Amino acid sequence: MRLLFTISLRNLFRQKRRNILLGIAIAVGVMILVVARSFSAGITDILFNKIVVRVAGHISVAFNEEGKLYRTIFRDRERILTMVKNNLHDVREIEEALGIFNRVIGNGKSDNSILVGIDLSQNLSDETRKEIEESFRMLTGDFTDLGKEGLENPVILSEEKAKYLRVGKGDTLRIRFTNVYGNNETARLNVAGIVKNDNIFMQSVIFSELKNVKRLMGFKEYEVANLNITINNPTKNAVPMADKLHSVLKPGLAVISGKIRFGNTEKDAAVLGLNSDETSQKLIGSHFEIVEGNKDKIFSKDSILMSKDLAEKIKIRSGDKFELIYKNKFEDRHTVLPYRVTAIFSEKSMEGKDILLMNDEKFYRAYYANLPEANANAYIPEKDNPLYPVFATEWILLDRTSTTEEFQKKLRDISNKKWKGATVDVRTMYEIASDILKLENVLNIITLSAVLILFFIILIGVINTLRMTIKERTREIGTIRSIGMQKRDVRNTFLLESLFLGLFASIAGILMAFGAIHLLSKLTFELKDNPLSILLVNGHLYFMPTIADIISILMLILCIVAATAYFPARAAANLSPSSALRYHD
């Protein structure tokens, strides 16, 4: 084998001019391929780790109440965070995503903007902190100024927004917005800093501390807005992790465990919500016996049904008023709500139970306004109960979607179906940021085109070179075959010669690619108001060459060279020694 290596290298350098020309062609092709792949990888990194993750996270959990898209709220922050943390792996950050669409007024100018909350209490990883510093370069002030004491609603805004509104550090802004409950509000903001941001999507954003934004929106400390989850290796893990999280977020039945007070009598009772859809109404109609009250009103939005057993114990009649009292899960207090009995019912599976049933709209308003404290002894129907589907659940888990079209249809359904309960939706970047991610597909097509061009360069060049070489060295082949060299050794000699040429040219092409990347990354582009600015980092092209990509490109080139050289090399090995010796050009 050592002899074959020596012969192959000697033959390679014998045909210097021809091999140098072919080597240059291969090297240029490799250079183009490495530069294109590095640029594509850089853009992918920008999309996934600098844009998508800031806009929507790799995975997000979104909440809505009463079918209102502006009411993005979940009433038990710790519960949902615990479920996410306990069931997802490889998580880098879990951020609470809250933004207020508003009209901001500066010095004689006004504009639309988004007030976005930043959680300064979160311990960011070094990687995330570095990404933020690269994406948002402070001109005046610092992001820590958002938590400055004694300053009313400190904010940081982009250089472009500050210029348009004619404000600087220390100036005051005013905003008009709608809070989480649909009420119109106004607030004053104090400019604590100006940031330079090349990303056009972030230039309309105004940043404030998360707790300030939540206060303005009407959130309580135990409530949470949407969650954005950043994970490692999002292209591989986002969808399966979202599917897993979706499977563990299936809700149980919503129950208020409290007391019914009528006159001087109090009695423990379980309060359940009744779904008002057509299927539920049919089940209720076929299983419930109304022993007292107006049957025509049991499906009205004010409907309150009390079990016969409970009614007899507190001696209440249809039409009587009573109070529901229950302990809140938070704030250490009790909620007291007045109601009137619509009807008294009897149902076989709930005989002997003290139960109050409410129309789902009325029930959810009481349930979400003050979450009830859990009671292990409260009556909860079993899943095998034929009436289980008619009872209101803690929340409504929306189906997973895989495309933008399905996701947009789901958003329309949230508004059109007017669900009474809170909806919970698990999403990935592939649904909510697909238009941005399409850029990755375009770049992959460009890279594939470069591979095809390179393939034909190598294919034609290697075949022509080997044919000419074999033709010129036909008598030499006859001589070495006559003195005992085997066919396979002749074939392997030509194969090694081609592989050495491909290897040396590829290494040269890789070195040329790094030189080209260095020069291209020095170029500065001013694209502040151009969507193409998302392809830049600090005004420069961003390349991300990786060892894995370079090795895969090198192996690809060598495989192409070997496959292309195999058949001419085999043809050379199959030449008859006597015919080769008699050959004359």
Summarised one tens digit per residue, pLDDT across range 409-463 is: 888 887 777 788 899 999 998 887 666 666 666 766 776 676 667 667 666 766 6
Is residue 168 very low, low, confident or very high in pLDDT (cuts 50, 70, 90)? very high
Q: Which CB contacts under 8 angstroms, 24+ apart, belong to 487-492?
A: 487/573, 487/574, 488/573, 489/4, 490/569, 490/572, 490/573, 491/566, 491/569, 491/570, 491/572, 491/573, 492/4, 492/569
Of the chain, the percentage scoring pLDDT greater than 70 comes to: 78
- Written as six digits, the tokens of 29 are 């092709």
Q: DSSP characters for 546-581?
A: -HHHHHHHHHHHHHHHHHHHHHHHHHHHTS-HHHHH
- Let me know: does 189 contact 153? Beta carbons within 8 Å: yes
Q: DSSP characters for 76-133?
A: -HHHHHHHHHHH--SEEEEEEE-EEEEEEE-SS-EEEEEEEEE-TTS---HHHHHHHH
- Let me know: does 543 contact 512? Beta carbons within 8 Å: no
- Let me know: does 175 contact 189? Beta carbons within 8 Å: yes
Summarised one tens digit per residue, pLDDT across range 67-102 is: 787 889 999 999 999 999 999 988 888 889 898 899
Of 5-9, 279-283, 377-381, 543-547, least confident by mean pLDDT is: 5-9
Does residue 469 surpass a pLDDT of 80?
A: no
Of 252-256, 469-473, 564-568, least confident by mean pLDDT is: 469-473
* Contacting residues for 187 by C-beta, under 8 A, at least 6 apart: 153, 174, 175, 177, 216
* Contacting residues for 466 by C-beta, under 8 A, at least 6 apart: 494, 498, 565, 568, 569, 572
* Contacting residues for 364 by C-beta, under 8 A, at least 6 apart: 66, 254, 273, 392, 420, 421, 422
pLDDT of residue 580: 47
Return the higher-pLDDT residue of 498 and 388.
388
Does residue 162 surpass a pLDDT of 80?
A: yes
Q: b vs e for 503-532, b when ≥16 Cβ sit within 10 Å of the residue's Cβ?
A: eebbebbbebbbebbeeeeeeeeeebeeee
**Neighbour tally for 118: CB within 10 Å:** 20
Q: What is the mean pLDDT of residues 354-376?
A: 92
The residue type at 414: I
Collapse the DSSP code of 433 into the 3-class scheme (helix H, G, I; strand E, B; otherwise coil) and give the result: coil
Can you tell me the distance from the alpha carbon of 367 to that of 166, in angstroms, rounded to the nearest whole number?
Answer: 46
Return the higher-pLDDT residue of 581 and 430.
430
Does residue 139 surpass a pLDDT of 60?
A: yes
The residue type at 3: L
pLDDT of residue 434: 65
Can you tell me the distance from the alpha carbon of 164 to that of 306, in angstroms, rounded to the nearest whole number?
Answer: 61
Closest CA to 323 of 264, 373, 253: 264
Can you tell me the distance from the alpha carbon of 441 to that of 430, in angstroms, rounded to the nearest whole number?
Answer: 12
- Written as six digits, the tokens of 246 are 């979706």
Q: What is the pTM of this model?
A: 0.75
Q: Helix 2-14 and helix 487-520: axis angle, to 10°?
A: 60
The residue type at 135: S
Q: What is the mean pLDDT of residues 212-222?
A: 93
Q: How far is CA 15 from CA 6, 222, 492, in A?
A: 15, 78, 18
Residues in the chain: 585
Can you tell me the distance from the alpha carbon of 157 to that of 204, in angstroms, rounded to the nearest whole number?
Answer: 8
Does residue 200 surpass a pLDDT of 70?
A: no
- Let me know: does 147 contact 207? Beta carbons within 8 Å: no
- Let me know: does 353 contact 379? Beta carbons within 8 Å: yes
Can you tell me the distance from the alpha carbon of 375 to that of 395, in angstroms, rounded to the nearest whole number?
Answer: 18
Can you tell me the distance from the alpha carbon of 428 to that of 434, in angstroms, rounded to the nearest whole number?
Answer: 10
**Neighbour tally for 382: CB within 10 Å:** 8
Return the higher-pLDDT residue of 127 and 293.
293
pLDDT of residue 165: 94
359: left (phi over 0), alpha (psi -120 to 50) or beta: beta
The helix/strand count (H/E) of the chain reads as 18, 22
pLDDT of residue 12: 56
How confident is the prediction for the chain on average, in pLDDT?
82
- Alpha-helix residue ranges (DSSP H) falling in 233-355: 234-248, 278-287, 308-314
Summarised one tens digit per residue, pLDDT across range 297-324 is: 888 888 999 999 999 999 999 999 999 9
Does residue 477 surpass a pLDDT of 60?
A: no
* Contacting residues for 416 by C-beta, under 8 A, at least 6 apart: 67
Q: How far is CA 309 from CA 260, 269, 306, 344, in A?
A: 13, 11, 8, 9
pLDDT of residue 530: 57
